[in-house]
Amino acid sequence: MRDPSPRAAGTLTASHLCRQGLAMVLACTLLGGDVSAQLLSRLLKPVKTIVQPVVTIVTHLTCSVTQLLASPKLDSAVKNWASDAGPATLRVIVTAEPGLLSTITTLVTTTLGLPLVRELPGINALVTEIDLDDLSILACDVSVSSISVDAIVRLPSEPASSGSAYSLRETLGLPDGAPKGTGIGVAVVDSGIALSPDFGLRITAFYDFTRGGVAALPSDPYGHGTHVAGLIAGAGLLAGGGAYRGVAPGAHLIGLRVLDEEGTGRTSDVISAIEYATNHRTALDIDVINLSLGHPIFEGAATDPLVRAVEAAVRAGIVVVAAGGNYGVHPDTGAAGYGGTTSPGNAPSVMTVGALDTRNTTTRGDDRIGAYSSRGPTWYDGIAKPDLVAPGHGMVSNAAIGSTLYERYPSARVSTTYFRLNGTSMAAAVASGAAALVLEANHGASPGAPPLMPNAVKAVLQYTALRTQDAAGLEYDHLTQGAGGLNAAGSLDVARLIDTTRPVTSYWWTGLVEPVTTIAGETWSWSQRILWGSWLVWGSPIDTYEEAWTQSTMWGVDHIVWGSTVTGWDDVVWGSPETPWASQIVWGDELVGTWYSDHIVWGSADDPATTAWGSLAEDEAGEGASGAGS
């Protein structure tokens, strides 16, 4: 184990330091005891006055080893790096206390002499590269709110050898005359978008955040973003592609490239793209952001930088859709596992999507949820996810010819212009297309009215979802299917009824609709349920303009007072003393939270006897912890 103390770099006695001049004498007198020579040399550089470096030293050399490793300011990845042997430096996102970003910038660049990789003003943070000495200073500085790893983001998808030979729009219940997303803009934050006749002139802007966010011609060296864009808005014009139209073939696309030619990137690049989209949403005409990427959850949603960025986008009026992750099975045993949702799918207000396998048919009765599709609840916060599931297995869409995926996996090519992939990446793209249709349908029914709010779009898609069953005919639990399978046709029926000009708490439907949808000659009932935080809310909550659907409300907050149209609710995360998923955590063998009579402290295990749930290994040995409330 490495010693993360500031003294680890080597120490000099006070007498040695005091020989170096008056500034050192003052520093030694005020500090008392040994200090790191390396730190002092950096803190006193450049020396313009005597007073300033002394004040800096006194302010920042206050963090002991114990304080550092126990600091609530550090995410789990940073703590692991600090305590285990590993790289000498780590790239991190440092969040300032409100109004103190400039103070932190000065501390990082001038006092510590560290590189400023970029600022992230939307979340009051910056990106830099630190060593252990730097961490000990930053973690105990009162101006620093949190320190998070600038994590590598990856794509929850993989090549597929068989799958969808049918019309995607048909399996979603959409006839030829249904809306096509015309006038709606979808930002694809991914590996890029390759030019194609299937997109025509509908790629209206493209920025490359692997090169600092410069405007560029559309491109996709990896090939994933093009596939995602095709599922959202491909026109299916290319030879052999008649069945491969996207969900919203009339929508326009804004390409925000954040991943390299190997399909990896940094969280800070993704945040930069999201902040740019949020700040320029009007100029770029962005209504939906698709995030078919993610990283493991290292901290609670309140401090997770990626979550904070997407929540800000939602508050700005953008519908944000994220892949739930492909961690639905335990990596060692292959058994179904829970708690595998990735960031930013843990963001409360984001529409997090799991993957359906449609079994290569239009009918919905044989749909199954992919074993790899991540289940909830979210790590640390215990939020019920996913929000819903959508077609994501064996999905055929546009290929970026010559890209890494295209060249590496020739067996996944359907033709020279189409490619097949599996994953929640694909499912998120399908849901983004459906969100575009909902926005168009609502606007078309009420021209001139304010647009439907992101929370309302999410509620409509959940309320009209179709409950799905496994091969034995048993309905999947809500931490596997969310509200159910995406039902685009039903969501349009509801979207057309909503009048956004009506006041909050009033009835805002302009008519009635039967809560069923017919697909491939079979009639299916809607779920008529909403997943709100850890709660399953049922009744008719979306026929009224509830406070929950307003733009300023974060999804899942507990202060909402539901109207009379809500007939009941259940806690689907902690609803019984023997929570069935608690013994099947997918992420490994660490204890997750501690139960204190009426609440959970996530990410801690102060007393194993009160642990909310234990590890897979403990459960297999018959010693798994019981659920909350035990």
For residue 341, the SS3 value is coil
d(CA 369, CA 271) in angstroms, rounded, equals 30
393 has catalytic annotation: no
d(CA 456, CA 539) in angstroms, rounded, equals 16
Catalytic residue, chosen from 191, 425, 527, 615, is 425
Nearest to 473 by CA among 365, 626, 562, 349: 365
425 has catalytic annotation: yes
DSSP conformation class of 540: S
Instruction: Say if residues 295 and 338 touch (Cβ distance below 8 Å).
Output: no
Nearest to 389 by CA among 447, 470, 324, 458: 324
190 has catalytic annotation: yes
Q: Which two tokens stand for residue 465?
A: 């979802």
User: Which sign, positive or negative, has the C-alpha torsion 251, 274, 390, 410?
Assistant: positive
Instruction: Say if residues 397 and 421 touch (Cβ distance below 8 Å).
Output: yes
Catalytic residue, chosen from 133, 134, 190, 304, is 190
Catalytic residue, chosen from 136, 157, 198, 224, is 224
DSSP conformation class of 553: P
Instruction: Please name the residues in contact with 167: beta carbons below 8 A apart, sequence gap of 6 or more.
Output: 243, 245, 362
Instruction: Say if residues 69 and 136 touch (Cβ distance below 8 Å).
Output: no
For residue 389, the SS3 value is strand
Torsion angles phi and psi, residue 35, rounded to 5: -140, 165
Residue 569: in which H helix or E strand, if any?
Answer: strand 566-571
Instruction: Supply the DSSP string of 162-219, one letter for each residue.
Output: S---S-HHHHTT--TTS---TT-EEEEEES-----TTTTT-EEEEEEGGGTSEE----
Q: Which residues are catalytic?
A: 190, 224, 425
